Chains A and B, each alone.
Chain A
Amino acid sequence: DQQVKQNSPSLSVQEGRISILNCDYTNSMFDYFLWYKKYPAEGPTFLISISSIKDKNEDGRFTVFLNKSAKHLSLHIVPSQPGDSAVYFCAADWETSGSRLTFGEGTQLTVNP
């Protein structure tokens, strides 16, 4: 199942700098996208979402950008903090369906002090 893909298994940034995590999707039916953060031995924690009627959604240090023509979304974290070190998953859904999330592989973000 390659409908949602995160091509970077890992990303390392310095504290205070910007982290940019990327996600691509192939299914044009997807119209609702989410980012989750996961620490070891914990479940995914919801961070931020975006509907396909928008191209940007912001919540504090987290901003998600959606480029529908490119079928690409990204999560920006500014400024990055050591506590942000975790695995980040993007997920996609049909908003009208609202029942089945399709996940990417995840990207391990490490923020160095």
Chain B
Amino acid sequence: EPEVTQTPSHQVTQMGQEVILRCVPISNHLYFYWYRQILGQKVEFLVSFYNNEISEKSEIFDDQFSVERPDGSNFTLKIRSTKLEDSAMYFCASNRQGNQPQHFGDGTRLSIL
């Protein structure tokens, strides 16, 4: 069964540095998403992406964050000038149509030191 794959599984970064989290959505999917889960808290929506542009973003997704689909397979989340509170699990998800279930990757654990 096709899967959403995320790399790396664990990223450790110094505070203030930039980090790029990578995702390969399921190949025939058209809608892409990023979520995060801070330890002990709910899974929170960050951003959705369709047709090479952001379709919706949450209040968390400020100027520190950006997303990109640099080629036909990858979908990336860039976090500039990381802060301690950016430490979380980051999940990528995708679906073929916006009103179908989203399929999630196994996440990247981001640790900011």
Contact = CB atoms under 8 A, between A and B. Distances in A.
A102 B48 CA distance: 13
Contacts of A100: 45, 48, 56, 58
Contacts, number: 61
B61 to A, nearest CB: 11
Given A1-B42, A46-B101, A99 B31 contact: yes
Given A43-B105, A46-B101, A99 B55 contact: yes
Contacts of A44: 43, 91, 104
A101 B100 CA distance: 11
Interface in B89-113: 91, 93, 95, 97-107
Contacts of B43: 44, 89, 91, 101, 103
Interface residues of B, number: 28
The CB with the most chain B CB atoms within 10 A, among A34, A49, A99, is that of: A99
10 contacts: A1-B42, A32-B99, A45-B104, A46-B102, A91-B43, A97-B56, A98-B97, A98-B98, A100-B45, A102-B45
Nearest to B37: A103
A91 B42 CA distance: 11
A99 B44 CA distance: 13
A72 to B, nearest CB: 18
A43 B94 CA distance: 12
A70 interface: no
B42 A104 contact: yes
A43 B99 contact: no
A63 B82 CA distance: 42
Interface in A33-54: 34, 36, 41-46, 49
B101 A41 contact: no
A95 interface: yes
